[in-house]
Chain A
Amino acid sequence: MATVLPVAKAASVNPLKSSQPLGAAFAYLGVAGAVPLFHGSQGCTSFALVLFVRHFKEAIPLQTTAMDEVATILGGADHLEEAILNLKTRTKPKLIGICTTALVETRGEDIAGDVASIKSRRAADLEGTEITLAQTPDFDGAIEEGWSKAVTAMIEGVARRGTAARREESRVNILPGAHLTVADVEHVRAMVEAFGLEPVILPDISGSLDGTVPERWIPTTYGGTSVEDIRTLGEARLTIAIGEHMRAPAARLHELTGVEYSLFRQLSGLKAVDRFVTLLGELSGRPAPASIRRRRAQLQDALLDGHFHFSGKRIAIAAEPDLLYALATVFVGMGAQIHAAVTTTSGSKILEHVPCETVKVGDLGDFEALAEGADLLVTHSHGRQAAERLGAPLLRVGFPIFDRLGGQHKLRVGYQGARDLIFEVANIFESERHEPTPESLDPFRNRESEHERRPASAIGRH
């Protein structure tokens, strides 16, 4: 049971967070034919766009209402309307996902009212395009919150309400959290399909942000959840939400359509995956396929081979709450200890379950101070400065990863993802191993110091 320590300083040093509207846009990008629209000044969009491009190495459709000084003073409703109509004519999207920014939320406009009025006045012009609104001021939340709000907005705005006349027995809704990579989502889909079930995944970034080369220019997302699939979410047998921050959208979908939900806090540990596989077995009435059993056996072996490397290791993690929880659980399950845990926001219920004493809400400046003496740093690419200064290796996870290729294709869920994660981390420890020297083993060395580091790495040897 971890204690959550709140922010106690005025200057944030090296932010860990990405902004809430970016998280919302991220979720909209997992819908086919979508364009996320930031309601704010054009810089808000430009910064988020550049960060997405640096992470995905892809052209990203993202637009702005381009609030200027006059609109800032008089109100941005006209800009919002003009932006929506322009997007409609220029890109013919299936979905325009609005994300508000701190600028318009500070003004305190009735944006929900604006959107409703634009939708009703311009109904004919906007035929065939869904418009959803996530209110995501930058001064609150981070990626998880924005992502969760956008998914909720799509459920509220697009999914058909009321209990469906007919439930599709084989259909399962999957609501993956923002911390799942393209490879993770692909893998979850394959696992569900292996049981003969039909998953509808919202949002499905594996279809839209997996880096392919289409044969023509497309101004919206291509691939991802279809709007029609969102409309019929209520026809599924069950919703499976992955990550605590997906509880809200899953619960909202339940309220609106009566579809029950099952929440998985993480899908990276043996027990969690076992539960997932068991659930799929129950839903489908089929035994786990041989391929999945085989993967489980491989994970068992990875646990056995890998634990030597993890035992006694101190790992420092800075990540959004659900990713922090998932990774910490796996590492502690391998015999490592969480040396420092830093996260973005204090709101998530999952934080108290992180297997360590304290979780600090803060930035990479806090992380750098707390991680002193850690054997491994785990955070996104911005952790590179801390890693350099502390002389510790860095495992890049989460968003953004801009100084390594293929971050989106890293698989870290399911038996297979857990297996790969264990090997990846064990290999980092292996490559950091220092040969013993007479000095490092001298019994009279550092007597006064509490931090005797080297014996820990000796455990890593077979």
Chain B
Amino acid sequence: MSSQARVQALFNEPACEKNQAKDASTRKKGCSKPLTPGAAAGGCAFDGAKIVLQPVTDVAHLIHGPLACEGNSWDNRGAASSGSALWRRSFTTDLTELDVVMGQGEKKLFRAIREIVEAHAPPAVFVYSTCVTALIGDDLDAVCFRAAERFGLPVVPVHAPGFVGSKNLGNKLAGEALLDHVVGAYEPDDVGPMDVNILGEYNLAGEFWMVKPLLEALGMRVRACIPGDARYLDIAGAHTARANMMVCSTALINMARKMEERWGIPFFEGSFYGVSDTSDALRQLARLLVSQGADRALTGRAEALIAREEARVWRRLEPYRARLAGKRVLLNTGGVKSWSVVAALQEIGMEIVGTATKKSTDEDKERIKKLLKDEKHAFDNMAPRDLYALLASGKADIMLSGGRTQFIALKAKTPWLDINQERHHPYAGYDGMVELVRQIDLAIHNPVWAQARAPAPWDAPTRASARPAESGAETIALTRRKFAATAADELGEC
């Protein structure tokens, strides 16, 4: 399939809620909004594809292109591995001018695959195209096919050059690569009625490890968590699972739907962020498994676990109520995943003073209206300048967002917490919610804010600065008087 056809097919995704709402002509135009040169932000399709596939831990990820695509971006995500560290090694063909001019790209790629196989013997190699190699017409499929034949291992072509579109499109193209080349390539010999897949879970900061034991306590087995902490054979055998949970809906919806089509695996969309969503996810997984023939008692066991865990998590969150009630949160991230977090924050008395709705569907927006006191606080997309103004004027006690807007908050001297992919703390499951609230508490109550916001003594509106004409000696005397009452340990805190 040509890459144009592949992209068109993705724009037609029937399981996508947003897509269903469109008529035929808007659908054909695709999902990606046209970018404004000089005012664009965000990654490209290659970035998106790599985000989805790179956490697959035992695979060699080889980027076919000039240096920047990989050289400027490797080892930059906080996914965690319980086994191989090969995914953190960076492989690129680092094309030179001569390679491009002389058309040596394909040969270099083939040799690169050979070198990797000889040095690391991975179970598979994933090969990514980039703008330049797509433009000069390197036949990625042919090279991968030949290499797979010659070296006797799967070599998977991933077609997501940057110029085809956004990061989100790249996520989906990565899903297509897995569907076309990986899922179904291996038949595990231990298939069972309690096998599930989790799609679109990245295991950031190892957070899936806070959820997996819950599933295992119910007797479920995670056949594949894609891509977080996945190994090649997990994904290759993922078609044998009985149920799919789709975590990051925008990323891999095409994969969930096609797995249902091809292998009859039912799926649902859920989240492990927040108390109620975690419980819901457990419930749904149990329901789907039972519908696929698992023991009916599973439902009851799930409810018992949920009741026990929910009671525990609320008990653990209670001490934070006194410290956080009335604090105002600005949520600058799109998408559905944040909603159950919001519910939990409100439960302990925090207030949501604003939220971005850029990535939200109409249905999401309805939910937002219900959650927010004032629907004016939902904004589509805020310019950095406006965001800065809002934070600098003290209208929020903390902003939760991704790294991109981190420094807007910090320069406005406002507490900030990373809730996107670069973060270092695990927030999934019941324990994750407690961790999130703990981190919010730590951020808001850090003594640094008072220090950072205080003006320099000579800028402060005191008597000393009100009289700039004072002679040096007088100022010193004044300063001495000012500090006379200051205890030594107070100074030590500065």
Contact = CB atoms under 8 A, between A and B. Distances in A.
A21 B97 CA distance: 15
Contacts of A263: none
Contacts of A63: 38-40
A140 B97 contact: yes
Given A11-B62, A12-B92, A103-B135, A18 B71 contact: yes
A102 B403 contact: no
B407 A64 contact: no
Contacts of B163: 41, 67-69, 71-72, 103
Interface string A423-446: 000000000000000000000000
Contact of B132 (A47, A83, A90, A106): A106
Contacts of B69: 43, 47, 138
Contacts of A363: 94
A48 B68 contact: yes
B92 A15 contact: yes
A12 B94 contact: yes
B99 interface: yes
Contacts of B268: none
A331 to B, nearest CB: 26
Nearest to A103: B131
B72 A382 contact: no
Contacts of A15: 67, 70-71, 74, 90, 92, 94
A53 B40 contact: no
Contacts of A59: 384, 407-408, 411
A44 interface: yes
A433 B471 CA distance: 56
Contacts of A101: 68
Contacts, number: 211
Nearest to A402: B76
Interface in A1-28: 9-15, 17-19, 21-22
Interface string B434-456: 00000000000000000010000
Given A14-B89, A15-B92, A41 B131 contact: yes
Given A46-B43, A102-B68, A103-B132, A84 B38 contact: yes
B205 to A, nearest CB: 15
Contacts of B413: 213
Contacts of B89: 13-14, 365, 385
Interface in A52-79: 53-54, 57-59, 63-69, 71-72, 79
B43 A138 contact: no
B5 interface: no
A102 B66 contact: yes
Interface string B46-88: 1100000000000000100111111111111000000000001
Given A103-B162, A140-B96, 16 more contacts: A15-B67, A15-B74, A37-B38, A40-B131, A41-B163, A42-B35, A42-B42, A44-B44, A44-B68, A46-B44, A50-B403, A53-B407, A64-B38, A64-B40, A102-B66, A103-B132
5 contacts: A15-B71, A47-B69, A50-B73, A86-B39, A139-B97
9 closest residue pairs by CB, A with B: A43-B44, A86-B38, A83-B38, A11-B112, A19-B68, A83-B37, A10-B111, A217-B388, A139-B66
Interface of A: 9-15, 17-19, 21-22, 37, 40-48, 50-51, 53-54, 57-59, 63-69, 71-72, 79-80, 82-87, 90, 101-103, 106-107, 137-140, 142, 213-214, 216-217, 219, 363, 365, 382, 385
